[in-house]
Structure 1
């Protein structure tokens, strides 16, 4: 049942801020309604796209509770809980209000650059402590260390309470090895919007998307028809959005997606340092692209 709920399009929600730097709760409510109305299958709160490193512990708890309240069980909610300290992740899993969560998305330890054995032991420890199933998250461009296919498959086979992997390495061969050799029922989810369509063709089970914050309807439809095997329709939507993907990630995530959402009048184009808005030149390109979209 849970694996079926998490098959399709998940969206890694941005955290809107007011011009004074506080969390913009009205903006977040608009965003939640926008993505659910666009057809996403589930939402993810407290991912990197949500500028999580800049949020206080109290703000993270408030965001979880607010997201549950405003989603109101219309779709499942996945909560991001990750850190470079295994003990800190275990402690947060014990304190977070996860009763209404479908699963926990937990990024591989960053900055510390552990060995593959260290990554395995990290996930083994947090899976044992988590009250909810764990979705692994491999994003070496941010963590500094790739989780190999062998390590992912070892965790999938040997560690209970791990149900899926969000793969954002960009390594298609690694992705295909995981898809080919994964245990039955283990989901492989794309974390790369620009190559999500071909990854679905290879056998991935869905996407946790940044772009779906803005392109909720078209992105969700692309994933839906791809999972149904209609790749002609999926390709049309992929190429319709492709230039948007390029612009969205040209300088920084979430600076790019917030520029799109600003032009869509969904959230303000505001951030917490060290994230800053995209350059004026890129803003002009995004604005021109959206006028013709």
Structure 2
């Protein structure tokens, strides 16, 4: 089975719960993992941006990956996030992180440095050569400061053997259309925007790596499945239920929004590591109202 088949549908970018003293709350993480798997997600992604990885130490990251494998217990595939803006350091991480049980590695395009398209290509080419698992590109220019063009993605897809897909979060539908038209047959293309998942999957994407699925795994995964089947009427009804939730989740920052939802669902405590802060009280009240209604 190709990776495109294995990771079709909904992956969830897991939060990292923290205790009041800001240590990683593994018990709460276990609750979230069980919740999303029982809710029907096809796979989980650990150490994504939603997991507050910029504030995690390397020791913590490795421990979280190992805990995730143990808790998931082969129920669904696990994708591990290993990204950054120092190519040589990432190559070392690919050799040091426990990746034996990973299905793939998700790696965000280098941030802050603002490399050229050639720099992005060479960065990923070296990562792919060093990685024991297939690499999923992650284009998120709102965070990295540099868009990875469709031409660069397609060049990587066609020329680098261990590049297996992309999480595309540019929000540029024209760019997405080019990717979907010209990608190799087994190249996975998934959405990185919850609010755009419905139209993007309807026009050919293979699924999504979602933030919203932390809190709404059943409704969200059903919406994606119906969209994949081109039952767009049913899918739209489900997506319509979540439109306000999408806005609340990303109104201030991610993961403050999704952590507010998970707190109200009594899965985690509402703690974030600085510079991230919890959702403002006014927006948190709107989260409560949404869940009540």
Distance 2:16 2:6 in 1: 24
Structure 2 residues without counterparts, runs of 5 or longer? none
Structure 1 residues without counterparts, runs of 5 or longer? none
Residue 4 of structure 1 pairs with residue 5 of structure 2? yes
2:91 is aligned to 90
1:42 is aligned to 43
The offset of 1:3, in angstroms, is 2.2
The offset of 1:114, in angstroms, is 0.1
Residue 67 of structure 1 pairs with residue 68 of structure 2? yes
1:249 is aligned to 250
The offset of 1:16, in angstroms, is 0.2
2:138 is aligned to 137
* SS of 1:207 mapped into structure 2: strand
CA deviations over 1:168-191 (Å, ceiling 9, x no partner): 000011001100110111011000
CA contact 2:4–2:206 (8 Å) conserved in 1: no
CA deviations over 1:188-219 (Å, ceiling 9, x no partner): 10000001000011100000000000010000
CA deviations over 1:207-239 (Å, ceiling 9, x no partner): 000000001000010111111111111100111
Distance 2:76 2:6 in 1: 8
Q: TM-score of the superposition, structure 1-length normalised?
A: 0.99
1:164 is aligned to 165
Distance 1:246 1:128 in 2: 39
Distance 1:243 1:35 in 2: 20
* SS of 2:266 mapped into structure 1: coil
* SS of 2:154 mapped into structure 1: helix
Distance 2:266 2:24 in 1: 16
* SS of 2:171 mapped into structure 1: coil
CA deviations over 1:244-274 (Å, ceiling 9, x no partner): 1011110000000000000000111101000
2:25 is aligned to 24
Q: TM-score of the superposition, structure 2-length normalised?
A: 0.99
Give the alignment of 1:213-224 within 5 angstroms: 213-224=214-225
2:291 is aligned to 290
- How many pairs align? 292
The offset of 1:4, in angstroms, is 1.1
Residue 212 of structure 1 pairs with residue 213 of structure 2? yes
* SS of 1:99 mapped into structure 2: coil
Give the alignment of 1:89-108 within 5 angstroms: 89-108=90-109
